């Protein structure tokens, strides 16, 4: 199941797109932090609960003062979104299917891409936090302050802020795995490299917008649909009082469901001889 991980990692080192993704991520982070600081500069008159690295790290992840959550799904796609379609458009897929069972191939391909996408986002988010530690005051939250402390797992934020940051990084990394599996799903039905990269992103944002519009369409009962939209579960959950384990469970369920759907779709396309 893990046989393709070394191959994918080797291909990753050769890709120039990884530097593009890093530049886009870095530019967005610098711009967003500049905007946040312009609204609330670090100064002695800032409330203590809003003047530490954990608060600022949450701010850049949330939907209140940041667009990072909209950009995050695009980052792994820039690097890995064309991985499967590139093999389809060349003789690599045919070569691999001659060396291994087709069922084993799709499982190992999905698992390897999901793991690498997870690690890619984990590293980027970790670097973001390390950079935040350098720029912002390193102190722990002392109490829950209404309007400042995030509603999501607020007690965890105050009592275990380092774990809270780790949880945020895990959540976004699981999303990264999901979006890359989605890119493989899309790549089974099209052959255009750029469509394979940007269509999953468009689907992620488009479906989220539709789901987040439900409260305006059907009223208060649509709040549930709004709260389980992909974007809400990527950056909007900080304003929700849900338990800390719900968000990672949400992404694990989506990853598992899409994994099963993708494997099934691959088998259908393979039987129809539309993959090679």
pLDDT score of 273: 67
pLDDT tens for residues 185-244?
999 988 889 999 999 999 999 999 999 999 998 888 889 999 999 999 999 999 888 999
Q: Categorize the per-residue pLDDT at 275 as very low, low, confident or very high, splitting at 50, 70 and 90.
A: low
* Tally of residues, the chain: 276
Whole-number pLDDT of residue 18: 93
pLDDT tens profile 55-90? 889 989 987 778 999 999 999 999 999 999 988 887
Look at residue 48 in the predicted model and tell me its pLDDT: 44
What pLDDT is attached to residue 43?
46
Between CA 80 and CA 196 the distance in angstroms is 10
What does the alpha-carbon distance between residue 71 and residue 24 come to, in Å, rounded to a whole number?
Answer: 9
Res 44: pLDDT:
47
Check residue 24 and give its pLDDT.
95
By CB atoms closer than 10 A (0-12, 13-18, 19+), residue 233 is buried
Delimit the domains of the chain by residue range: 5-271
Q: What is the pLDDT of residue 35?
A: 83
pLDDT tens digit sequence for 11-24: 777 888 999 999 99
The pLDDT value recorded for residue 1 is: 63
pLDDT tens digits for 26-61?
A: 999 999 988 877 766 444 444 445 578 898 899 899
Q: DSSP string spanning the chain?
A: --TTHHHHHHHHHH-THHHHHHHHHHHHHHHHHHHHHHHS---TTS-GGGSSHHHHHHHHHSSSS--HHHHTTHHHHHHHTTHHHHHHHSSHHHHHHHHS-HHHHHHHHHHHHHHHHHHHHHHHHHHHHHHHHHHS------S--TTTS-STTHHHHHH-HHHHHHHHHHHHHHHHHHHHHHHHHHHTT---HHHHHHHHHHHHHHHHHHHHTHHHHH-GGGHHHHHTSTTIIIIIGGGS---TTHHHHHHHHHHHHHHHHHHHHHHHHHHTT---
State the average pLDDT over residues 157-170: 95
258 has a pLDDT exceeding 80: yes
pLDDT at 13: 78
What pLDDT is recorded for position 118? 97
Confidence of residue 25 (pLDDT cuts 50, 70, 90): very high
Q: Between the ranges 1-10, 173-182, 239-248, where is the mean pLDDT highest?
A: 173-182
pTM summary value? 0.92
Average pLDDT over residues 124-132: 96
């Amino acid at each position: 199941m893990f046989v393709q991980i070394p191959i994918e990692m080797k291909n990753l080192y050769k890709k120039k797109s990884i530097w593009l993704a890093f530049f886009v991520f870095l530019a967005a982070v610098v711009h967003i932090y500049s905007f946040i600081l312009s609204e609330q500069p670090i100064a002695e008159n800032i409330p203590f609960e809003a003047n530490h690295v954990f608060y600022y790290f949450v701010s850049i992840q949330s939907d209140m003062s940041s667009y990072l959550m909209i950009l995050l799904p695009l980052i792994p796609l820039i690097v890995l979104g064309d991985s499967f379609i590139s093999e389809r458009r060349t003789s690599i897929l045919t070569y691999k299917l001659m060396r291994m069972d087709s069922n084993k191939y799709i499982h190992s391909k999905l698992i390897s891409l999901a793991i690498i996408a997870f690690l890619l986002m984990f590293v980027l988010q970790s670097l973001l936090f390390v950079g935040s530690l350098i720029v912002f005051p390193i102190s722990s939250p002392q109490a829950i302050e209404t309007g400042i402390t995030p509603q999501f797992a607020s007690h965890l934020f105050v009592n275990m802020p380092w774990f809270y940051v780790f949880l945020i990084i895990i959540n976004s990394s699981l999303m990264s795995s999901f979006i890359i599996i989605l890119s493989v799903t899309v790549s089974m039905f099209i052959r255009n490299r750029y469509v394979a990269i940007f269509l999953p992103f468009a689907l992620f944002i488009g479906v989220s917008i539709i789901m987040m519009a439900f409260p305006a369409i059907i009223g208060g009962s649509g709040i549930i649909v709004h709260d389980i939209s992909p974007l809400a579960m990527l950056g909007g959950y900080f304003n929700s009082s849900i338990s800390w384990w719900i968000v990672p469970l949400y992404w694990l369920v989506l990853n598992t469901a899409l994994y099963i759907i993708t494997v099934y779709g691959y088998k259908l396309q393979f039987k129809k001889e539309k993959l090679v």
